[in-house]
Amino acid sequence: MTTPTSPFGGNSHGGPTNGADGGDDDRRTMTKADIIETVYEKVGGFSKKEAAEIVETVFDTIKETLEKGEKIKISGFGNFVVRDKKERVGRNPQTGEEITISARRVLTFKPSQVLKNALNS
C-alpha cells in the first residue's frame, strides 16, 4: 500500500495538525522550507540556496511593510492589514476580576474572492 502524498511533499499524515478544535486532522502544515522547496522545483533556473534567498526576501519585504503599518494587497490572494486596537477593559474568566487589556497592533488577513472561490470549489 502506498502512502498518500501532500502537495507540500512528504506524506499527508504525521505532520502538525491545523484543526482549530485541536482534534485529529490529516492536513499538514506547510513550512517555510516547504515553500522554498516548491519554488525550487516549480520555477527552475535557481539553486536551492537562491530559491531560499528569494523566499526570505519576499517574507522580509512583507514583514518590513507591515511593521511600518502599511497594507499589503496581493491580487488574487488577499489583503494583510495592521490594525491598532485601543486599550480596553476585560475580565479574567477564572476570577471575574476586571483587567486592563493594553493597546496593541494586530494583523488581519482578508482573502480575495478568487482565493475564497478556490477554497470552496
Residues 63 and 73 in one domain: no
Q: What is the mean pLDDT of residues 68-84?
A: 96
As for how many domains the chain has, the answer is 2
pLDDT value at position 2?
42
User: How far is Cα 98 from Cα 89, in angstroms, rounded to an integer?
Assistant: 7
Could you tell me the CA-to-CA distances from 39 to 11, 51, 73, 74, 102 in Å, in that order?
19, 6, 21, 18, 40
Question: Is the pLDDT reported for residue 13 higher than 70?
Answer: no
In a domain, 117, yes or no: yes
pLDDT above 50: residue 14: no
pLDDT at 9 over 80: no
Q: What is the DSSP letter of 99?
A: E
3-class DSSP assignment, residue 28: coil
Instruction: Tell me the one-letter amino acid at 64.
Output: E
Domain limits for position 62: 7-68
Residue 1 belongs to some domain of the structure? no
CATH number at residue 99: 4.10.520.10
The verdict on 30 and 56 lying in the same domain is yes
User: Is a pLDDT exceeding 70 seen at residue 20?
Assistant: no
